[in-house]
Amino acid sequence: MENLLSNVNGLSEELSIVDNYIDKFLHTERDAGTVDNVFSSVRNSRGKMIRPQLLLLAARFGPHYQDRQRNLCKLGAMVEIVHMASLIHDDIIDDSPLRRSRPTLQHKYGKDMAVVAGDFMISRVLRYLAEEQLMQEALNIGRTIEEMCRGELRQMACRWDTKTTIDAYLRNIHGKTVALFVEAVQMGARGSGASADLSDCLTAIGEHVGYMFQMRDDLLDFISAEDAEGKPVHRDFADGIYTLPVLYAFGQPSCGPRLEEIAGSEPASPGYGGLLREMGELVRQSGGIDFCRRQIENHAAQAKQQIAALPDHEARLGLGNLIDYLNQ
């Protein structure tokens, strides 16, 4: 990811600044022992920083990008912290033992610590938004976290429901994932003083990237070999979370009924591993994986159209590379 975007002038330097702000915003010094261990685990759980990158790329199209660079990096750090906090709380929900091939916080320190660690991160976002007098951003981040909660709750409500529609799925992932991508892009656009038209165009790109990102994640969970992404395969299915390839397959007469049978099986039963493999094969045969790929391609094509409508700037290349990366 970092290599991909290194061709955009100055972006890696900005990401280092974002990184420093994340450290600053999550810095704790008063405690020793367990408390501090938890917080360092939090600080070290950083990912690919796709959201800050998107924010900074979007910001390059605004007239005030240069003089607001530091501020934009701060916003990038806040978006990433919101994302990190949501991962920690999601892992409690999913009971995940691994994230990015490393033990999750809740696996390492227990659910209790994970609940508090996520809350701590949000308290820091709140505090620094206030310290930096970022009222409008506070409002938007508040709304985005609410969207994320809604998405998470809706997804829970759809759990084990084999009749979940693809529309419901799209609504769920909009809250769960897309909303924060959109917020990142809009922060970049607003923060650099982009015009309303430009901001709309960038928002659309952020939305497509968000959908692509989540669908790709669903696809990887589905097709990758065990542990390739540091996650067990078909974990979503076993948890009753039916992602796009599966939902498509449920609707196919050739395999839908058998898939529903498998979905009704007890995950703790001895033959369940075999059933999961059968499920994987059925979904593939039904065209569910191809369907998911096509959706990703559609979003990629639409995003590229929007990118083409942006003013000529090397950041367009960066956005294009991001799209290609997610469309691999």
Stretch that binds a second copy, among 3-11, 149-157, 211-219, 276-284 (CB under 8 A): 149-157
34 binds a second copy (CB under 8 A): yes
Nearer to a second copy (CB atom), residue 156 or residue 228 = 156
161 binds a second copy (CB under 8 A): no
Per-residue binding string, a second copy, 72-111, x by CB under 8 A, is -----------------x--xx----------------xx
Stretch that binds a second copy, among 151-159, 188-196, 246-254, 287-295 (CB under 8 A): 151-159
255 binds a second copy (CB under 8 A): no
Stretch that binds a second copy, among 25-33, 44-52, 219-227, 281-289 (CB under 8 A): 25-33
Distance CA 165, CA 301 (A): 24
Q: Strand, coil or helix: what is 305?
A: helix
Distance CA 183, CA 189 (A): 10
Closest Cα to residue 204, out of 305, 57, 136?
305
* The two three-digit tokens of residue 276, written as one number: 């999961």
The answer to whether 203 and 186 are in contact (CB under 8 A) is yes
Closest Cα to residue 178, out of 154, 202, 201, 144?
144
Among 143, 163, 277, 294, binds a second copy (CB under 8 A): 143
Q: Which residues have a Cβ under 8 Å from the Cβ of 129 and sit 6 or more positions away? A: 78, 137, 138, 141
153 binds a second copy (CB under 8 A): yes
Closest Cα to residue 242, out of 224, 227, 222?
222
Structural Rg of the chain based on CA atoms: 20
Q: What are phi and psi of 98, to 5 degrees?
A: -130, 150
Among 150, 235, 258, 284, binds a second copy (CB under 8 A): 150
Among 98, 149, 168, 170, binds a second copy (CB under 8 A): 149
Nearer to a second copy (CB atom), residue 60 or residue 83 = 83
Task: State the residues that interact with a second copy by CB under 8 A.
Answer: 30-31, 33-35, 38, 89, 92-93, 110-113, 115-120, 122-131, 133, 135-136, 138-139, 141-143, 145-146, 148-150, 152-154, 156-157
